[in-house]
Amino acid sequence: MFRYTSGSLIREIGVWILAIVFLLPFYFLISMALKPDAEVYTTSSLALPLNPTFNNFSSLFVASGQSNILLGLMNSIIITAGSIFGLIILGSLTGYVIARSTRRWGKATYYLFLIAIVLPAQLGAVPLYIGARTIGLTGSVWGMIFLYTGMLLPLAIFLYAGFLRGLGTEYEEAASIDGASRWQVFFRIVFPLLAPATGTVAILCGLIVWNDFFTALIFLGGSANQTLPVSMYYFIGSLVSKWNVIFAIVIVSMIPILAFYLFAQKRFIQGFAGGLKG
Partner 1 sequence: MHSGTEANTVAGQQHRTPGPDRKTRSRRARGVVGFGHWWWALPGVLVVLAIHYVATGVGGFFAFTNWTGIGSFQLVGLANFQKILGDPSKILALGNTLFLAFGSVVIVNIVGLAIALALNRTLKSRYILRVLFFMPVVLSPLAVSYIWKFIFDFNGPINAILKSVGLESWQKSWLGDPTFAIWAVLIVIVWQQTGFAMVIYLAGLAGVPTEVEEAAAIDGTTLWQRFWHVTLPAIRPAVAISTTLGIVNGLRVFDQIMALTNGGPAGATETLATQVYKQAFSLANFGYGAALALILSAIILVFAVIQQRVTRGTES
The footprint of partner 1 on residues 25-84 (CB under 8 A) is: 25-26, 28-29, 32, 41, 44-46
Return the residues of window 122-141 that contact partner 1 according to CB under 8 A: 122-131
Return the number of the residue (121 or 195) whose C-beta is nearest partner 1.
121
Using the rule CB under 8 A, which residue among 17, 61, 181, 224 binds partner 1? 181
Query: What secondary structure letter does DSSP report for 144?
Result: H
Decide if residue 109 touches partner 1 (CB under 8 A).
Answer: yes
Decide if residue 193 touches partner 1 (CB under 8 A).
Answer: no
The span of 67-75, 137-145, 193-201, 233-241 binding partner 1 (CB under 8 A) equals: 233-241
Decide if residue 268 touches partner 1 (CB under 8 A).
Answer: yes
The span of 57-65, 77-85, 194-202, 246-254 binding partner 1 (CB under 8 A) equals: 246-254
Decide if residue 153 touches partner 1 (CB under 8 A).
Answer: yes
Decide if residue 169 touches partner 1 (CB under 8 A).
Answer: yes
Decide if residue 254 touches partner 1 (CB under 8 A).
Answer: yes
Using the rule CB under 8 A, which residue among 34, 71, 157, 201 binds partner 1? 157
Decide if residue 100 touches partner 1 (CB under 8 A).
Answer: yes
Using the rule CB under 8 A, which residue among 71, 84, 220, 232 binds partner 1? 232
User: C-beta of 61: minimal distance to partner 1 in Å?
Assistant: 19
